């Protein structure tokens, strides 16, 4: 059974007011290094999504809040996204239910939603119930990782050394 909850609005999550929770985490957690470039190739985006999944696998109840998707909407395949959500049991649109909460990042649906966010170049915030990590994904193809957790930083250091995470240069 898939343990995926898709909420009616940002305020409906058991995490409380999601934009407010994100603001609190931004003020509490330190940015790990600097911004990272999201790769353009779809295969690398899938690897990137697996990295994000690995970051959250040991953290309780991760949440994916898709905060903006309308920038590229004329070029989007919303039928694919909506069909995916329908297969998971929801008829609601992204407008009505932008918050996805999971029991665990081990679930295939967690990785799939992250992949779709990356493929469609949507803005999203990913965080866990305990507030140990916040990942901000931008439609401009960069992401920030905020964490004070040494294990998450070590995992990210490994991803940098393997070339999965590449820092943006200013």
Residue 85 pLDDT grade (very low, low, confident, very high; cuts 50, 70, 90): confident
The mean per-residue pLDDT over the stretch 5-12 comes to 46
The residues near 87 (Cβ < 8 Å, ≥ 6 apart) are none
Residue 6 clears pLDDT 70, i.e. is over it: no
The reported pTM is 0.87
167 falls in which pLDDT band (50, 70, 90)?
confident
pLDDT: which is higher, 156 or 5: 156
Ranking 2-11, 22-31, 43-52, 74-83 by mean pLDDT, the lowest is 2-11
| Reduced 3-state DSSP string for the chain | CCCEEEECCHHHCCCCCHHHHHHHHHHHCCECCCCEECCCCHHHHHHHHHHHHHHHCCCCCCEEEEEECCCCHHHCCHHHHHHHHHHCCCCCCCCCCCEEEECCCCCHHHHHHHHHHHHHCCEEEEECCCCCEEEEECCCCEEEEEECCHHHHHHHHHHHHCCCCEECCC
| pLDDT for residue 16 is more than 80 | no
pLDDT of residue 75: 64
Phi/psi for 115 (5° steps) reads -60, -45
Phi–psi pair at 95, nearest 5 degrees: -55, -40
Instruction: Look over the chain and give the mean of its residue pLDDT values, rounded to a whole number.
Output: 84
Domain boundaries, given as residue ranges, for the chain: 16-164
């Amino acid at each position: 059974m898939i343990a995926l909850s898709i909420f009616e609005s940002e305020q409906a999550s058991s995490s409380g007011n999601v934009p407010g929770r994100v603001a609190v985490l931004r003020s509490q957690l330190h940015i790990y290094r600097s911004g990272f470039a999201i790769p353009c190739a779809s295969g690398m985006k899938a690897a990137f999504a697996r990295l994000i999944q690995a970051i959250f696998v040991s953290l309780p109840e991760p949440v994916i809040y898709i905060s903006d998707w309308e920038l590229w909407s004329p070029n989007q395949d919303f039928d694919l996204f909506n069909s995916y959500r329908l297969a998971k049991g929801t008829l609601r649109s992204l407008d009505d239910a932008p918050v996805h909460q999971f029991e665990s990042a081990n679930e295939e649906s967690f990785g799939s939603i992250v992949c779709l966010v990356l493929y469609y170049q949507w803005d999203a915030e990913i965080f866990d119930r305990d507030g140990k990590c916040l990942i901000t994904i931008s439609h401009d193809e960069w992401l920030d990782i905020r964490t004070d957790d040494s294990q998450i930083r070590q995992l990210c250091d490994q991803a940098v050394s393997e070339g999965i995470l590449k820092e943006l240069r200013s």
